[in-house]
Amino acid sequence: MRVIIISNTMASAVLLLFSANPVFAQQMCSLTDRSTEEVIPGVTLRWDSSFHCRDAPDTGGYQILVEAFNASESAEAVTIESLGLSHATPRPAGEGPAATAVAEGLPIMLEPGESGDFTVSGEYELIETDEGKKANLHLRAGGVGSRSGEPFVLGINVLIRAPGSVD
């Protein structure tokens, strides 16, 4: 049994168990939604917030590219510092799908009017539901305002679906 610990400075560690240590091909995921929000007073960010991975095998790897943009009228620069797997759903019979998430390219600092990106990758195991096999990964990217030191969190979802599953 392999134990993987994913840590996040803004949340407690997530402990995941896998029975094997296979190497997976990366699942192709497409961007399906962007969010825009005033994340701290005077600072508006737009970021890629939802991805859909269709026709996924029962276990595998995934990879997404998240772009973030700090509005030109924002009052200060921000730094996106960390990424963590908040939780995974659905949870039939109380147990959710197993998954990991690791970010490359952090930290990134975004001055007003600037954009930047980072890559998230990991492994997953789909879980059987009444609507087919699926996993919904709920990620949190954390950052701070450069002048104010005010923290913020960006929500990112990765929806992984087996062939024939219902959204």
The distance in angstroms from the start CA to the end CA of the chain is 32
| pLDDT for position 134 | 96
Residue 28 binned pLDDT confidence (cut-offs 50, 70, 90): confident
**Beta strand ranges found along 71-162 (DSSP E):** 78-89, 102-104, 108-110, 115-125, 127-129, 132-145, 151-161
Query: Could you tell me the two tokens for 138?
Result: 């709920």
Q: Which of 5-9, 70-74, 136-140, 153-157 has the lowest mean pLDDT?
A: 5-9
Residues 1-7, mean pLDDT to the nearest whole number: 36
pLDDT at 4: 38
pLDDT in tens, 75-114: 999 999 999 999 999 998 888 999 999 999 999 999 999 9
The DSSP letter of residue 96 is: P
What is the CATH number that goes with domain 2-161? 2.60.40.10
> How confident is the model at residue 27, as a pLDDT?
77
CB 161 within 8 A of CB 132: yes
What is the reported pTM? 0.83
Structure tokens at 77: 């620069």
In angstroms, the Cα distances linking 12 to 6, 47, 87, 112, 160 are 9, 24, 11, 31, 24
Domain boundaries, the chain: 2-161
